Amino acid sequence: MDHWRPGYGAEYSVSEHGETGQNGAEEMRHFGTRFWVVLLLWLLAGVAEGGLCRSAAAGDTVVAGTTAAGAVTGQSDGNTGGSIGGQAGRQLATVTLVAGEWAPYVSEHMQGNGRITEVVLRAFAHSGIAVELKFFPWKRCERMLETGEAFGSFPYVPTPFRSRFAEFSDPIFIANSHFFFLKDRMDGFDYTTLQALQGYTIAGALGFNYLEWFAYDNLPVDVSPDEDSMFRKLATGRVQLAPAEERVGWMSLRRLFPDANERFAMSRTPFRSEPNFLMYSKAYPGGKELIAQFNEGLRHLRETGELERLLQETGAEAP
């Protein structure tokens, strides 16, 4: 009668008398080789299982991870992406976030993808939630939340249209939006009310909430696909006013035009000063539980002073 004993990836038979079975001699000759091969595979599997990064779906994504203490580290892989690991290496859940270009707060091309991105990732990491971050045009980000393809996008401001398919986290930071203009055409301009802008040619970019406010006040807008295109129209004199968040606007103008400081100016008075949020999809499974964990992580960052430190580094205002 033969007894079966577990081997390393294979089995071999041994008789009651301790003699090998019919193929025993051949099996024993190869046992040592099997042992070391399977041991090597086991070690490699252990490294892969304990790793903090994983491959992601197609799209522009960010690879990042957490240290054992839960601190977020990461950089763009320039290709297909990865995930943010959770607290002490645990991954309780994985969420898909999408965002557009809004430097210096959120950017695919900046170290750490911008300070607001770091805030969001650290807040999730506090609760052990993995994040897959992808970059798309802002309008596509909204569509992905409408369909439930992505959990959330940031930073966003509530509007009646967005509230149809999304809800919002606790506030992350305050953004101040101004009008930019050419000095040689509108020197001395300042904002008072939207109604007072009747008669001006105003630019805008797809995906930004001010388009709803302008439409409400019947202000005609020359809409561009993105802020770079909007500012190029301003530079050529096609429009008189271009709305943008203060730091985002100046960073874009200085990148596009080396003489931006000499050519452009900004209204002293912001036309909007409002908190920005993580917007999350009503159609995403488990959304309420996930946003509660995010808010808890954000509260932790606020209480420890980490939120204020990260916002100060980019000049943003705490809510």
Q: What percent of the chain has pLDDT over 90?
A: 67
Whole-number Å distance between alpha carbons of 91 and 77 = 21
Contact indicator for 226, 137 with CB cutoff of 8 Å: yes
Model confidence band, residue 308 (pLDDT cutoffs 50, 70, 90): very high
Q: Who wins on pLDDT, 21 or 6?
A: 21
Query: Which pLDDT score is estimated for 37?
Result: 39
Task: Give the Å distances, CA to CA, from 303 to 12, 86, 119, 203, 300.
Answer: 61, 20, 13, 40, 5
- Over range 94-100, report the average pLDDT: 96
Asked whether the bond before 225 is cis by omega within 30 degrees of 0, the reply is no
The 10s digit of each residue's pLDDT in 37-82 is 334 444 444 433 333 233 233 344 443 433 323 333 333 333 333 3
In contact, 179 and 240? CB cutoff 8 Å: no
Q: Under a CB-based contact definition with an 8 Å cutoff, are residues 79 and 60 in contact?
A: no
The better pLDDT of the pair 75, 148 is held by 148
Residue 2 scores a pLDDT above 90: no
Q: Quick one: tokens of 271?
A: 């036309």
Consecutive H or E run containing 177 = strand 173-182
Tracing tokens 């985002």 back to the chain, one arrives at: 248
pLDDT tens, residue by residue, 150-206: 999 999 999 999 999 999 999 999 999 999 999 999 988 999 999 999 999 999 999
Query: What gap in Å lies between CA 275 and CA 265, rounded to an integer?
Result: 24
What would the two tokens of residue 6 be?
């577990």
Summarize pLDDT for 114-137 with one digit per residue, the tens: 999 999 999 999 999 999 999 999
Question: CB–CB of 224/205 below 8 Å?
Answer: yes
Q: Strand, helix or coil at 92?
A: coil
Q: Which residues pair with 176 in a beta bridge?
A: 273
pLDDT of residue 92: 62
CB atoms within 10 A of CB 282: 14
SS3 category, 100: coil
Q: Which of 209, 175, 213, 174 is nearest to 197 (CA)?
A: 213
Q: Is 301 left (phi over 0), alpha (psi -120 to 50) or beta?
A: alpha
Distance CA 8, CA 218 (A): 75
Residue 85 pLDDT > 90: no
- Which two structure tokens, joined as six digits, stand for 69? 């203490």
Q: Would you give the distance in Å from CA 236 to the centre of its chain?
A: 33
pLDDT at 285: 92
How high is the pLDDT of residue 56?
34
pLDDT at 83: 40
The predicted structure's pLDDT at residue 315? 86
